[in-house]
Structure 1
Amino acid sequence: MQGDWPHDDAPAGVAGGEDRDGSGEASGPARRRGRPQQTPLQRALGLLARREHSRKELSRKLTARGLDAADVEKAVGRLAGEGWQDDKRFAESLVRSRAGSGYGPVRIRAELATHGLDREAIARAMETYEGDWAENARDLAQRRFGSTLAEELNLQRKAADLLLRRGFDGASIRAAIRFDPDD
């Protein structure tokens, strides 16, 4: 409640009080709340606690927040060495997540490449997926366009376009739009 603190006695971080350095000016959001600046290691660990990140993505996010590139590389290297950050685990997680969201292998490979993974790492991650891409494409097409898909050419074209945008290959698309559940 405003007014409970006399202006001169307000603790750091409370409206009207001075910052810890006594200047009366805030020097950033962490300072206003009375928390010390986080190290690059702490910030990286905070990001990893929310979700998996590739090494490249983690470095990019930290340097975009104004941290020194050398300190960021050191922190990310340490976290990778201790098992907190793992590109293999990140890639496998991304494959499962995107496949479950209705995306195909072409799109997923391209996304993994943008995260700085090489061809071998991408191939290994794609091999860990235990689903059937053609079945995923068929399920997506059936959900979006219904059971009349096999009979209507217009819907088949729309379904093919959708599946192509989602990153499915030609064989999966053909199997999905020509699928007849009664066969």
Structure 2
Amino acid sequence: MLDTPTEIRRKAMDLLARREHGVQELSRKLLQRGAEQELIDIELQKLVEEGLLSEQRYLESYIRSRANSGRGPVRIREELSQRGLARDDIEQALAQADIDWQEQLLELWQRRFGEQPADQKAYAKQVRFLLYRGYAMDWVQKLFK
């Protein structure tokens, strides 16, 4: 039970020491641990003001992490939206990410399949996989041309 501002701050700092978090995500985790929303809001605002909690750093870290695990921008955008981040912030972070999405797509496809599909069934399987991973259909079609 987190019932003092000090305990809430300490727990928030523990969570931030492991990895970057968004404000909403950190708030949710603290609520689950029994803290009151009023105290959470006050402490998280202090962390933001001190530069210890940053949505921008969280976005950059999340995008880099997901891209390195083979996820495309469509999927990453959707995941971040579900986590309550603003669409404009997500778009800006994706645009600023130093990631060549076409190259990522090619590397993922080569790792997973390595060769052109032999028939329509294999083609459909490869397309479904790449779309599920979060790459746009026009990029996937371009890959096979």
Same fold (TM over 0.5): yes
Q: Give, as a single letter, the amino acid of the residue that structure 2 aligns with 1:110.
A: E
Match of 1:160 in 2: 127
Matched position secondary structure for 1:39: helix
The 5 A counterparts of 1:89-128 are: 89-128=57-96
Structure 1 residue 82 corresponds to structure 2 residue 47:
no
Distance 1:169 1:133 in 2: 10
- 8 Å contact from structure 2 (residues 47, 53) kept in 1: yes
- How far the C-alpha of 1:151 sits from its partner, in A, is 4.5
Amino acid at match of 1:111: E
Deviation at 1:135, TM superposition (A): 2.0
Task: Give me the whole-angstrom Cα distance separating, in 2, the residues matched to 1:175 and 1:62.
Answer: 45
1:117 shift after superposition: 1.3
Q: Per the alignment, do residues 135 and 154 of structure 1 end up closer, same or farther by CA in structure 2, a change over 3 Å counting?
A: farther
Q: Partners in 2 of 1:171 and 1:80 — Cα distance? A: 39
Aligned-residue Cα RMSD (Å) equals 1.6
Contact 2:117–2:126, Cα closer than 8 Å, also in 1: no
More helix by share: 2
Distance, in Å, in 2 between the alignment partners of 1:174 and 1:145 is: 15
Deviations 1:78-98 (A, max 9, x none): 111100100011001111111
Q: Secondary structure at the match of 2:81?
A: helix
Alignment-mate amino acid for residue 121 of structure 2: N
TM-score by length of 2: 0.90
2:111 counterpart of 1:143 = yes
**Larger RCO (CA within 8 A; separation ≥ 6):** 2
Structure 1: 5+ residue runs without aligned partners? 1-27, 29-37
Greater Rg by CA: 1
- For 1:100-154, what per-residue CA distance to the aligned partner results, in whole angstroms no more than 9, with x for missing partners? 111111110111112221121111110122222222122211211122x254433
Between the two proteins, the alignment pairs up a number of residues equal to 141
Paired residue secondary structure (1:83): coil
